[in-house]
Structures are given as structure tokens and as C-alpha cells.
Amino acid sequence: MKKVIDKTILAVLVASLLTGCAANTVPTAAPALTVEDTLAGISVREKVGQLFIIRPDSLDLALSQENINDSKTEGSTKLTDAMKKTLEQYPVGGVAVFKKNVVDPKQLTAFIKDLQAASQITLFTGIDEEGGRVARLANHAEFITPQYDSAAAVGETGDSKNAKEMGASIGGYISEYGLNLDFAPDADVNTNPDNTVIGDRAFSSDPAVAADMVAAAIEGFHSSGVMCCIKHFPGHGDTDTDTHYGCATTTKTWDEMLACEMLPFKAGIAAGTDMVMSAHITVPNVTSDGLPASISNEMITDKLRGEIGYDGVVITDALAMEAITDFFSSEESAVMAIQAGADILLLPENFTNAFDAVVAAVENGTITEARLDESVARILTLKAKYNLM
């Protein structure tokens, strides 16, 4: 992107010189590149790169997949020359920072700045900062931030202004370090008492309360200039399995989901959420393909886009989770997610294999370039909205 802009500026300057060098000539500023201009000016490989948000560690090809995906191992905390080279070869669209990538505020700010400087198109720089137990910075000893017990505690107040304040506060402090995307708020409805993975991450067991809180939280995030992502579509609240470790299922019908799970998602979409994250849960009474929602065309294209009417960016949940890796290779899940209607592939288990598989799928026609352009246009439009182009 930066090279494209440089060439545009050069062309304008050359044109000015050719038309004369009169002393009173006023230089003309280069016109801003549109999404269409950018899309037309990048290669298939660069387009495919925009579909990926990865861990920074994945840029270090010397690391094993086990090391990269294990939150307890030492993480990448600075950009090395080898990582820069990988970013040139695999020009991804974003990175997601985890606690193991963070030392202190100064380090994090420098790390994000260096990653952005090394990327031709500005990166999504994301983090899971929900407030409560899922908060990479608030739960880090070196960061002094506002503290929140949980989304559920905010929901229990019954006042959506508190959810807006939480979103504004969290968005405000993560943006100080160069982070521009929060994988929050959680739009699940906590209806299953045996659900340990969601629980108090959801605002409420009452779908109407959850809907009000989700919409208000989005307003708060946006007031701080940070993008947000509601999750986990079509609703992880009525499951009893953690998809990090296995397949989760809900037996609800679509009508039941419309009366409960869909209310917060509809409210979040109406409030202008920037992304919707699809979950690795199967819904056998809604879809016939037997696939997790994150790679199901019936769930993403037919239900989310068709019936709910959402035309924004769809991002998968992390594709390195065992609900996916137990059944599909990195290559398979990446291609299937794009075919299903997803736009962004979050944290594939082996991102280079996944990346190369999507490139090959476009080149051999398994994924049409028109389908690729559809997702890249959504992504670039979102980046342009936040002045990231």
C-alpha cells in the first residue's frame, strides 16, 4: 500500500513538472486511493494475505506450531529480521496479540509500531480484551488499567450506560499501545449453567438484557476509535464444551435461536459492529451439513448474511482450536471457511500452509477471484473507515 501511494505521489509530481515550472504553480495533492484502486493494484497473493490475522509468533518460521499455539510458552515480543522477511513473503492482514507477546507498555507500543512499519497495507492489530477473566492487558502485572469483574457483573447492573463506559474505557487504553481491534464484546446469552467457556463473559442469561448491553458496549468502543467484534455466532452460551478442546453442539432450532441467541447479534449488527466472529459449534437442528458454523455455508451465507442481513466482515474463531484441528487440516479449514462465506481466517494452526492453500485454491478455481475480491473489498472498506489505508 505504501509503495502504491509513493508511486501515485511520484506520478503527480512528474505531471506537474511536465506541465511547466512556473513560480506561481501550486502543487496538487495526490488523490486518496479508493478501495477499488487498491484492490485493482494488488496481486492475488496480497489479496489472500488480507484474509489472515495471525499470532506475531507465526512470523518466526523457526518456531514449532506447538510453541506458537501454546499460551504458556515464551512468545515473540519484538520484530526480527526473519519475521520481517516472512511478512514480505506472507503479507497478512493483521496480527492478534496475546499475553505472552507483551512485556510492558513500552515494549508493546514499539512492537506494534514495528509490525505496522513492516507491512505494506496497515494491519489489524487485535487483542482479546473483554474485561474480566479474558483481558490480556488488564490481567498483566505491568499494566495499570481500569478493572472489570466481568461482563456479567456489568449486565447485572441493568444499566447499559455501564456497558458503554466499559467499551469506551477498554477501547481507550488498548488504543494507547497501537491496538486498533478488540475481539469483544461477547454477544452470547449464558443460558447453560454447565457452560464454563462462556459463563460470566456473557452480559446476561436474559437475551434482551444481553442485547442492550452489547449495543451499548459497541457504542463505547467506537467512541474510542477502536474496532470491535461480536462473538460467537450463532451463540456459544447454550453449549457445554470448550471448543478449544473439542467439538461443541447446541440442539436448538432456528426459531428458538431467533427468540434468544440472535437478539444480541441483531442488536450488535444494528449498532454497527465491525466484525462478527463465527464459532466452531455445530447446530444439527438448523444446518444439514454437519459442519461447525465457522466453516458452514448454511450458517454464514444462508443464515447470517441471508436471513439476518449482515454484509460486514465475518471472521472465524481461532482455527487452531481442537474443534477444528481434530477434524480438518490447516489447508482444509482455511479453504472451507472462505467457501462458507467468511472473510478473515483467525489464527490457523499452520498459517503458511493455510495461506498457500488459499492461493492455490484461487489459482485452480476452487475459490473464484470474484469470491476473493468480495472478502478483500469488505476488509479494505473497514480499514478505510478507520483510516488504516
| Axis-axis angle for helices 369-385, 330-340 (nearest 10) | 80
Model confidence at 305: pLDDT above 60: yes
For the question of residue 232 being annotated catalytic, the response is no
Model confidence at 14: pLDDT above 60: no
All residues at 6 or more sequence positions from 345 whose CB lies less than 8 Å from its CB, including other chains: 51, 52, 53, 315, 316, 319, 334, 337, 338, 354, 358
| Burial bucket for residue 64 (CB in 10 Å: 0-12, 13-18, 19+) | exposed
| Burial bucket for residue 2 (CB in 10 Å: 0-12, 13-18, 19+) | exposed
Distance CA 114, CA 42 (A): 22
Distance CA 313, CA 233 (A): 13
Tens digits of residue pLDDT in 117-136: 999 999 999 999 999 999 99
- At 24 the pLDDT is 37
Confidence of residue 13 (pLDDT cuts 50, 70, 90): very low
Q: In the 8-state DSSP scheme, what is residue 227?
A: E
β 275-278/313-316 pair status: parallel
Confidence of residue 354 (pLDDT cuts 50, 70, 90): very high
Spot the catalytic one: 159, 244, 356, 373.
244
- At 3 the pLDDT is 42
Mean of pLDDT over the chain: 92
Distance CA 284, CA 253 (A): 8
- At 2 the pLDDT is 44
Spot the catalytic one: 128, 274, 317, 343.
317
Confidence of residue 246 (pLDDT cuts 50, 70, 90): confident
- At 31 the pLDDT is 54
Q: In the beta sheet, which residues pair with residue 186?
A: 231
All residues at 6 or more sequence positions from 49 whose CB lies less than 8 Å from its CB, including other chains: 90, 91, 92, 93, 355
Q: Count the helix, strand and coil residues of the chain and give each as a percent rounded to the nearest 5.
A: 45, 10, 45
Q: Are 118 and 92 in contact (CB under 8 A)?
A: no
% of the chain with per-residue pLDDT over 70: 92
Confidence of residue 336 (pLDDT cuts 50, 70, 90): very high
- C-alpha cell, 336: 472451507
Mean pLDDT, range 263-267, rounded to an integer: 99
Model confidence at 219: pLDDT above 70: yes
For the question of residue 317 being annotated catalytic, the response is yes
Superfamily of domain 43-385: Glycoside hydrolase, family 3, N-terminal domain (3.20.20.300)
Distance CA 287, CA 93 (A): 30
Model confidence at 322: pLDDT above 60: yes
Mean pLDDT, range 292-298, rounded to an integer: 98
| Domain positions in the chain | 1-31, 43-385
Length of the chain: 389
**From 27-36, 79-88, 202-211, 340-349, the region with the lowest mean pLDDT:** 27-36
**What 3-state DSSP class applies to 346?**
strand
Model confidence at 240: pLDDT above 80: no
Mean pLDDT, range 360-383, rounded to an integer: 98
- At 72 the pLDDT is 87
Mean pLDDT, range 207-227, rounded to an integer: 99
Mean pLDDT, range 57-63, rounded to an integer: 97
pTM for this one? 0.90
Q: From the CB of residue 27, how many other CB atoms can be counted at a distance below 10 Å?
A: 8
Q: Are 185 and 151 in contact (CB under 8 A)?
A: yes
